[in-house]
C-alpha cells in the first residue's frame, strides 16, 4: 500500500513533540503540505524547519489562539486534533477550574477547529478530521478521571460530526493510543520513579499501572500511533468514518473495534 497525500494540506495541533510531531513527520513523508502547531514560537519554528513544514504558533486551547491560527490558515484538507494535556490527581481533589481547563483544551480545541474546517472540506467533497483520543476514553484511569472524561467526550463529538457529514466524502474518526513514550510520559516517570533509568521506569510502570494489560508488554512509541493517523488520513481509509480506532497495543480487553 502506497499512501500518497500530495496536494493535501494537513494541520497537526500540538505537533512540536510526541505523537503530534511524529504524525506531522509521517504525513509530510507521505507528501502532505504539513502545518506544525504549538504554543512556543521557537519550538514551532525549529520543528517546522526540521520537518520541512510550515509552522504556526498559536494556543488552540483558547478561543483567541484558535482564531489566530484560522486567520493564518483558512483552509486544510486534513485536520489532526492532537493538542491535549494530562496529569495524575485523585478524582475528589480535582477543582472545578481543572475540570473546565481539561475540557476546553482537550475537547473544545478540536470542536472549534472542526467547526471551521469541516464545512469547507464538505464543499470540496474530500477531507479528513482525526481526533487523537485515548484508550482512557473507554476505560477511564482512576488516577486521571478528568483526562479520561475528555477522551470519552471526543469519541461522542467525532461520531456526531461523522453523522453530520455523511455522504460528503469527508470522514471523521478517532485514534485511540495507549500509554505512549512521549515527553510528557517521561516527565511523569520522573515524578513516579525518580532516579531510575528510563528502561527501568518503563518496566515499573508496566508492572504497577494500567499499562500492565498491554499485549505488547511495552509502551507504544509515537511513530506507531502516527502510522495509524497517516492511514486514517489517506484515500485508502475512505470507508472508515465515525469509528474509534485503537492503537493501544491490545490494552483494551475487547474484541469490538
> Contact at 8 Å (CB) between 69 and 60?
yes
The CATH homologous superfamily for domain 9-180+221-247 is NAD(P)-binding Rossmann-like Domain (3.40.50.720)
Domain-by-domain residue ranges, the chain? Answer: 9-180+221-247, 181-219
CA 31 to CA 6: how far, in whole Å?
Answer: 4
Which among 147, 193, 205, 231 is annotated as catalytic?
147
Q: Is 147 a catalytic residue?
A: yes
pLDDT given for residue 150 in this prediction: 98
> Contact at 8 Å (CB) between 25 and 49?
no
pLDDT given for residue 192 in this prediction: 86
90 C-beta neighbours (distance < 10 Å), count: 9
Q: Which residues lie below 8 Å from residue 163, measured CB to CB, with a gap of 6+? A: 242
With vertex at residue 236, the alpha carbon angle to CA 232 and CA 241, rounded to the nearest 5 degrees, is 50
Distances from the Cα of 164 to the Cα of 11, 80, 115, 157, 172, angstroms: 21, 18, 11, 11, 10
Joined grid coordinates for residue 216: 505488547
pLDDT given for residue 184 in this prediction: 80
pLDDT given for residue 187 in this prediction: 85
Burial of 89 (0-12, 13-18, 19+ CB in 10 A): middle
pLDDT given for residue 212 in this prediction: 83
pTM: 0.96
Joined grid coordinates for residue 45: 519554528
The two most distant CA atoms of the chain are separated, in Å, by: 54
pLDDT given for residue 210 in this prediction: 78
DSSP β-bridge partners for residue 220: 180
pLDDT given for residue 46 in this prediction: 98
pLDDT given for residue 200 in this prediction: 93
pLDDT given for residue 172 in this prediction: 99
Going from the first residue of the chain to its last (257 residues), give the mean pLDDT of each consecutive group of 10, the final group possibly shorter: 97 98 98 98 98 98 98 98 95 98 98 98 98 96 96 98 98 97 85 90 87 91 98 98 97 87
Amino acid at each position: 500500500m502506497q499512501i500518497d497525500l500530495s496536494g493535501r494540506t494537513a494541520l497537526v495541533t500540538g505537533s512540536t513533540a510526541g505523537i503530534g510531531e511524529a504524525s506531522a513527520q509521517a504525513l509530510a513523508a507521505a507528501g502532505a503540505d504539513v502545518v506544525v502547531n504549538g504554543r512556543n514560537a521557537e519550538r514551532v519554528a525549529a520543528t517546522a524547519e526540521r520537518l520541512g513544514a510550515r509552522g504556526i504558533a498559536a494556543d488552540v486551547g483558547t478561543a483567541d489562539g484558535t482564531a489566530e491560527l484560522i486567520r493564518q490558515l483558512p483552509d486544510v484538507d486534513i485536520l489532526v486534533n492532537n493538542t491535549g494535556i494530562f496529569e495524575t490527581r485523585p478524582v475528589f481533589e480535582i477543582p472545578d477550574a481543572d475540570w473546565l481547563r481539561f475540557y476546553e483544551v482537550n475537547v473544545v480545541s478540536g470542536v472549534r477547529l472542526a467547526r471551521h474546517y469541516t464545512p469547507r472540506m464538505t464543499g470540496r467533497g474530500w477531507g479528513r478530521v482525526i481526533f487523537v483520543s485515548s484508550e482512557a476514553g473507554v476505560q477511564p484511569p482512576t488516577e486521571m478521571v478528568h483526562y479520561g472524561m475528555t477522551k470519552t467526550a471526543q469519541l461522542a463529538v467525532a461520531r456526531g460530526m461523522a453523522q453530520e457529514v455523511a455522504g460528503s466524502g469527508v470522514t471523521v474518526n478517532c485514534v485511540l493510543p495507549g500509554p505512549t513514550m512521549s515527553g510528557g510520559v517521561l516527565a511523569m516517570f520522573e515524578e513516579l520513579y525518580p532516579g531510575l533509568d528510563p528502561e527501568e521506569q518503563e518496566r515499573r510502570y508496566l508492572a504497577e499501572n494500567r499499562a500492565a494489560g498491554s499485549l505488547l508488554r511495552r509502551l507504544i512509541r509515537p511513530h506507531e500511533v502516527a502510522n495509524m493517523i497517516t492511514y486514517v488520513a489517506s484515500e485508502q481509509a475512505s470507508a472508515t468514518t465515525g469509528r474509534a480506532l485503537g492503537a493501544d497495543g491490545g490494552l483494551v480487553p475487547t474484541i469490538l473495534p
